[in-house]
Amino acid sequence: QTVVTQEPSFSVSPGGTVTLTCGLSSGSVSTSYYPSWYQQTPGQAPRTLIYSTNTRSSGVPDRFSGSILGNKAALTITGAQADDESDYYCVLYMGSYWVFGGGTKLTVL
Amino acid sequence: QVQLVQSGAEVKKPGASVKVSCKASGYTFTSYGISWVRQAPGQGLEWMGWISAYNGNTNYAQKLQGRVTMTTDTSTSTAYMELRSLRSDDTAVYYCARRRIAAAGTWFDPWGQGTLVTVSS
């Protein structure tokens, strides 16, 4: 049973930088898992932020960036704004199916 | 613009079936697949499966095998997800999302607005 791990919660000050991570219960995340990231606010559908590890989706501000850090995928928000307060989900492609992480609730305060 | 519009909320009794639709517009329907993802109240996202709109090939999450069927109607650019033998823990918002594929990867974009399915006696 593949488990994708994310921090349950994180907080950042306005204007600050935060890095959310996406790992595997066993093994390392690499670009071969095509990690992608989605932002979701309450009552709304997810919005695509990053795909293929580090490619920003159309219209996504450049303060959002993706990378591989060590053995995890990472989403970095540089210069956090109040409306970045959301849930963030990563998902990994396992070759024939996908597994979502449990999500990270980001608070901006 | 590319858009996925889903059918409205449903209330079902345990043991019943539900069929959710997802109508695509703004792109060539048969050039992409459609994935289905659900989210139970207060919980995270769960991948359910996907279907190729090109040839109808499907792949379902193991835990839903035997209860879920995904289909497409290319004449109306609509994808469907049917879930049978509903239980209370199937209560969730169900999303469709277009599966994007490129040399560098695969991802979901855009997403439908979601359909709330409530299972209650």
- For residue A96, the chain B residue with the least C-alpha distance is B59
pLDDT at B13: 98
Per-residue confidence band for A73, with pLDDT thresholds at 50, 70 and 90: very high
Going by C-alpha positions, the residue among A64, A74, A77 that lies closest to residue A35 is: A74
CB contacts < 8 A, A to B, total: 66
Task: Find all residues with CB under 8 Å of A77, minimum gap 6, and list them.
Answer: A12, A17, A18, A19, A20, A63, A64, A84, A106
Are the beta carbons of B114 and A99 separated by less than 8 Å? no
Give the residue from chain B lying closest to A45, CA to CA.
B113
- Bridge partners (DSSP) of residue A106 are A10, A86
Q: Does A71 touch chain B (CB under 8 A)?
A: no
Q: Residue B117's Cα: distance from chain center in Å?
A: 12
pLDDT at B104: 80
In this model, does residue B103 exceed pLDDT 90? no
Mean pLDDT of A84-95: 97
Mean pLDDT of chain A: 96
Structure tokens at B81: 């997800």
- Position A53 pLDDT exceeds 90: yes
Q: Give B64-100 pLDDT, tens digit per residue.
A: 999 999 999 999 999 999 999 999 999 999 999 999 9
Residue B62 has pLDDT above 90, yes or no: yes
Give the whole-angstrom CA distance, residue B117 versus residue B115.
Answer: 6
pLDDT tens digits, one per residue of B26-50: 999 999 999 999 999 999 999 999 9
Q: Is the pLDDT at B102 greater than 90, yes or no?
A: no
Query: Which residue is closest to A49 within chain B, CA to CA?
Result: B109
Best mutation target among A57, A98, A100, A104 (most B Cβ atoms within 10 Å) is: A98
Q: Supply the pLDDT for residue B51.
A: 97
Give the per-residue pLDDT at A101: 98
